[in-house]
């Protein structure tokens, strides 16, 4: 978790201190989320396995899983339809 503590509402400046106050043990990085979102959607289940994942990411992952699990017309058996 990255948390910035600022005394006022100014923007974060280059000389401001940033401290890591917590590092989750799940091993999923921002880089992994980016990769899953853009390229490796077959790993979308990893997002659902993270309790701290935001609700919006979970909804996206669940929606994608529902789309990939639903049979499409392209997968119909030959000779039917």
Domain regions of the chain by residue span: 25-68
| pLDDT surpasses 80 at 3 | no
Say if strands 19-20 and 2-3 run parallel, antiparallel, or are unpaired.
Answer: antiparallel
pLDDT in tens, 20-65: 888 888 889 989 999 999 999 999 999 999 998 999 999 999 999 9
Local confidence band at 1 (pLDDT 50, 70, 90 cut-offs): very low
| pLDDT surpasses 60 at 2 | no
Task: Report which of 77, 44, 76, 78 is spatially closest to residue 60, judged by C-alpha positions.
Answer: 44
Residue 69 has a pLDDT of 81
What is d(CA 28, CA 61) in angstroms, rounded to the nearest whole number? 15
Q: Rounded mean pLDDT of 3-18?
A: 69
Let me know if 46 is exposed, middle or buried by CB neighbors in 10 A (0-12, 13-18, 19+). middle
Q: What is the pTM of this model?
A: 0.61
* CA distances in angstroms from 40 to 11, 19, 48, 58, 78, listed in the order given: 34, 31, 15, 16, 29
């Amino acid at each position: 978790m990255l948390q910035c503590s600022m005394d006022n509402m100014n923007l974060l400046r280059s000389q401001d201190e940033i401290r890591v106050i917590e590092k989750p043990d799940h091993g999923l990085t921002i880089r992994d989320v980016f990769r899953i979102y853009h390229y490796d959607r077959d790993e979308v289940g990893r997002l659902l396995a993270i309790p701290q994942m935001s609700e919006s990411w979970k909804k996206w992952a669940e929606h994608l899983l529902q789309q990939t699990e639903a049979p499409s017309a392209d997968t119909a058996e030959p000779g039917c339809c």
